[in-house]
A and B are shown apart, each in its own frame.
Chain A
Amino acid sequence: MLQREGEIRNPSGCAVTGVIDRSGKKMTGESMIEAIAVMHDRSNGLGGGFAGYGIYPHYKDFYAFHLFYETQKAQEETEAFIRRHFEIVYSSEIQTRKLPTVKNEPVIFRYFLAPLPRKLANSHLDEREYVARCVIRINAETTGAYVFSSGKNMGIFKGVGYPEDIGRFYRLEEYEGYAWTCHGRYPTNTPGWWGGAHPFGLLDLSVVHNGEISSYDANRRYMEMFGYRCTLQTDTEVITYIVDYLHRRKGLTLQEVSRVIAASFWSTIARKEEPARSQETLLRRMFPSLLVTGPFSIIVGFEGGLLALGDRLKLRSMVCAEKGDKAYISSEESAIRKIEPSLDKIYAPAGGEPVIYELYGRRS
């Protein structure tokens, strides 16, 4: 019998794409749907998803939780848990469009939440850590409930199906954001599961990933020392946790995070100028277990920007492009050309070289 996602490790091949308007101008999810549809053959209909940033301006100060429920009981338990830890500012079922190609959808709910001040104070945690722990706890301990989005003023929308169908299912043409990422999935191990589709998110971080990392268990076992629980056993999940740990908890810049995850070879570091040489050496000595090997190309979405990063051997394709204020990242150039035929600049970043596109005036 095939095991369900999370019971078994699930590597997959994929297509990823992302766009950001650095001036902060909003665009609907429609263009992402068009872009990813071009790379239809890179998915197999077992998972697709999107992340949009700046989509909840009216609730931008609240954590937007998106949840899948498989049972009534799971929903009751989870809502009780949420009420014990948060004030629910608003909650409703997420509006979807019925499509013949999207089947077996779970109940999909959205909550805008604020941590209960006393509970937060008693926890001796900072607010984001408090929220992150609640998310990890629901996902690890509540059967049949899954938090798949938990950031502020951003949202992840995903499911089982081709990504273009998932986009229409979630009516993404009705959402407007300054940045979007998107993912089409080709899982190789289990039938896709809604929670296991990408992007994977924690707080405002979202990750879409194409690849199959060989360092998985070394990374996972290391991250689990710090309270993360890799319940899905996917690469994307562990990469998200690594970025969250290094960036949010350890205070590394995204540049530095990239130097840990896709560290330059020692021989390359030796040839670099100071201070890069000693800084990169230090990062490798501090976080050797967070080096990610094997093929990957990821787009990390965060509040105010996108980070594109490929493995250091460049075993997965990745192109970046710019047109005016807009910047594009994609597995294939064709997806970018589809939505913006005339580009100012297009290039393939070297393996391990991070590309960061941010809203003007923001420093990561």
Chain B
Amino acid sequence: MDLYIRPDYEVVRNTDRCIACRVCERQCANEVHTFDPETGKMRADESKCVNCHRCVSLCPTHALKIVKTDNTYRENANWSAQTINEVYRQANTGGVLLSSMGNPKPFPVFWDKMLLNASQVTNPPIDPLREPMETQLWLGKRTAKIERDEKGLLKDTLAPQLKLSVPILFSAMSYGSISYNAHESLARAAEELGTYYNTGEGGLHRDFYRYGKNTIVQVASGRFGVHKEYLETAAAIEIKMGQGAKPGIGGHLPGAKISADVSETRMIPQGVDAISPAPHHDIYSIEDLKQLVDSLKEATEHKKPIIVKIAAVHNAAAIASGIARSGADIIAIDGFRGGTGAAPTRIRDNVGIPIEMALAQIDARLRDEGIRDEVSILVGGSIRSSADVVKAIALGADACYIGTAALLALGCHLCRSCHTGKCNWGIATQRPDLVKRLNPDLAYKRLVNLVSAWKHEIEEIMGGMGINSLEALRGNRLMLRGIGLTDTELRLLGIRYAGESL
């Protein structure tokens, strides 16, 4: 027990219901629950509890709940209990505070301040159950020259594009930060859904090469697991310049997560921390990026689209313009609420800008410069629902990356303790006994269900607007209206206020 820090949560057990089956005890990797043979009763040590809800979910008699403790410091609007505890924690250890998953602070969520349009009278809504509704799209450059063959037919002069049947991809999560079974689930779901998952920076396990058609491989600053076959196996290659949860910061996978398999996949020693540098040390400027884009294209015979992923930062629009002129086919932008397996808390909670603003500005900037067709735009961090997807596309995105939502579908309860490596749901861990808790046969279906459900909802929303193809929704900002936004916010988003007519 820490002398200073009291637990944030309490495990409440309804002893009338508890049958002492000890499932909670067996399932808690944090060893919160114990059985007392003398009394025949279960006990809990909540100082170890991360509030992941594994015990709550599995308790067959619903005897458990986790509640926020009412143990309180003297109230202080400036010094919250969390802030005080963080000071204690740092005084205890002298360390940088670490956190996982997305920024939990109460910043405005602009998705929730935008409303969608629907057709009435002058233009009929379309019923997706009766009429075709197209969610298929292609990602990549659209700047093709019109050339004809001797018969007068158009030649395919387009650069390689990615075909998607839904505007949703699974965002980069590395093998290492998440488990083998989590990766398998994502890969299988991507294949069934006709979309893509992303390896993250941890390389690609040999077992998953067979999902290559649906795989985006990442080349990050640590170059973990990057080799010829890795690049050739993939459908597309993503250069990771930054991540929304930790712009300007590299990665750090603790040695404890570097198992034999992870070590082989990443091509690094087992048990040693994997540190990816903050910058790519061969990219100190935009012209350097162009060289990496070109060399990856050369290495794969110009057959695969190249994605450049950046964190949403203040100057994102200008950076995106540079990327669009670098030969990249797709820009991925990761908002400051995006998730992570581990990031310094202060960075995660204080650096970057909302994805909505970055997207609106980048799309507008690329159009102003007449280069929107040079790249497709992928956005993530955080897309929480089909409504967010529709709003993102109406603002100007081509498609969305989902990470946290996908993990939730796998069972994640957002306890934000990924960095401890003891994920009770078998997702963000490499401990074999925990990894096996995620059965891909069940888990991939949950991902398929989630995305299929969103697809239905997207179709319903589009139908309501009288739109029957995603292509006609992209950048269609008249379909959006702001609510509770300032003039500056409206201007930056490029939308009108609710109540303003067409």
Contact = CB atoms under 8 A, between A and B. Distances in A.
Contact of B156 (A189, A218, A282, A313): A282
Q: Which residue of A265, A267, A283, A292 has the most chain B CB atoms within 10 A of its CB atom?
A: A265
Nearest to A315: B124
B379 interface: no
B137 A288 contact: yes
Contacts of B158: 282, 285-286
Given A13-B122, A221-B367, A287-B142, A282 B154 contact: yes
B471 A218 contact: yes
A21 to B, nearest CB: 28
Given A189-B502, A221-B475, A285 B469 contact: no
A226 B370 contact: yes
A289 B373 CA distance: 10
Nearest to A295: B123
B82 to A, nearest CB: 43
Given A217-B477, A221-B477, A295 B124 contact: yes
A293 B154 contact: no
A10 B153 CA distance: 38
A288 B142 contact: yes
A217 B478 CA distance: 6
Interface string A202-216: 000000000111111
B122 A11 contact: yes
24 contacts: A8-B502, A9-B501, A9-B502, A189-B501, A189-B502, A214-B472, A215-B467, A215-B472, A217-B477, A250-B146, A278-B156, A279-B154, A282-B154, A285-B142, A285-B158, A286-B144, A286-B158, A288-B137, A289-B474, A293-B466, A293-B472, A294-B123, A312-B468, A313-B126
Given A225-B372, A266-B136, A286-B144, A218 B476 contact: yes
Q: Which of B156, B472, B473 has the largest count of A CB atoms less than 10 A from its CB? A: B472
A188 interface: yes
B158 to A, nearest CB: 6
Given A266-B134, A294-B119, 11 more contacts: A11-B123, A213-B123, A214-B476, A216-B478, A217-B477, A219-B472, A222-B372, A282-B156, A284-B471, A285-B158, A289-B475
A219 B477 CA distance: 11
Contacts of A251: 146
Contact of A293 (B137, B138, B467, B502): B467
A93 B225 CA distance: 75
A9 B478 contact: yes
Interface in A127-167: none
Interface residues of A, number: 48
A97 B27 CA distance: 90
B132 A218 contact: no
B476 A215 contact: yes
A275 B370 CA distance: 31
B113 to A, nearest CB: 19
A291 interface: yes
Contacts of B138: 285, 288
Nearest to A217: B478
Given A252-B146, A313-B468, A214 B123 contact: yes
B458 interface: no
Interface string A300-313: 00000000000011
Contacts of B156: 278, 282
A-B pairs, 4 with minimum CB distance? A215-B472, A217-B478, A214-B466, A288-B471
Interface in A246-290: 250-252, 256, 263, 265-267, 275, 278-279, 282-289
Interface string A66-104: 000000000000000000000000000000000000000
Interface string B121-158: 01110100001101011100010101000000110101
A292 B473 CA distance: 10
Contacts of A287: 142
A17 B447 CA distance: 52
A292 B372 contact: no
A41 interface: no
Contact of B153 (A212, A265, A279): A279
Contact of A218 (B119, B466, B468, B473): B473
Instruction: Tell me the interface secondary structure of chain B in the complex.
Output: loop
A314 B468 CA distance: 13
A219 B476 CA distance: 8
Contacts of B474: 218, 288-289
A173 interface: no
A292 B123 contact: no
A325 interface: no
B245 interface: no
Contacts of B131: 313
Contacts of B372: 222, 225
B95 to A, nearest CB: 48
B469 A293 contact: yes
B214 interface: no
B469 to A, nearest CB: 6
B326 interface: no
B293 interface: no
A61 interface: no
Nearest to A12: B122
B64 to A, nearest CB: 49
Nearest to B502: A9
Nearest to A219: B472
A319 B479 CA distance: 31
Contacts of B134: 265-266
Contacts of A250: 146
Contacts of A225: 367, 370, 372-373
Contacts of B373: 225
B477 A275 contact: no
A224 interface: yes
B491 to A, nearest CB: 16
Contacts of B473: 215, 218
B161 interface: yes
A133 B126 CA distance: 38
B465 interface: yes
Nearest to B465: A214
A293 B478 CA distance: 14
Given A218-B476, A282-B156, A267 B501 contact: no
Contacts of A285: 138, 142, 158, 161
B330 to A, nearest CB: 14
A225 B366 CA distance: 9
Nearest to A267: B132
Nearest to A311: B468
A329 to B, nearest CB: 22
Nearest to A11: B122
A125 to B, nearest CB: 16
Contact of A289 (B146, B471, B479, B501): B471
B154 A217 contact: no
Interface in A217-240: 217-219, 221-222, 224-226
Given A8-B501, A225-B367, A216 B136 contact: no
A225 B370 CA distance: 5
B501 A291 contact: no
Contacts of A282: 154, 156, 158
A291 B122 contact: no
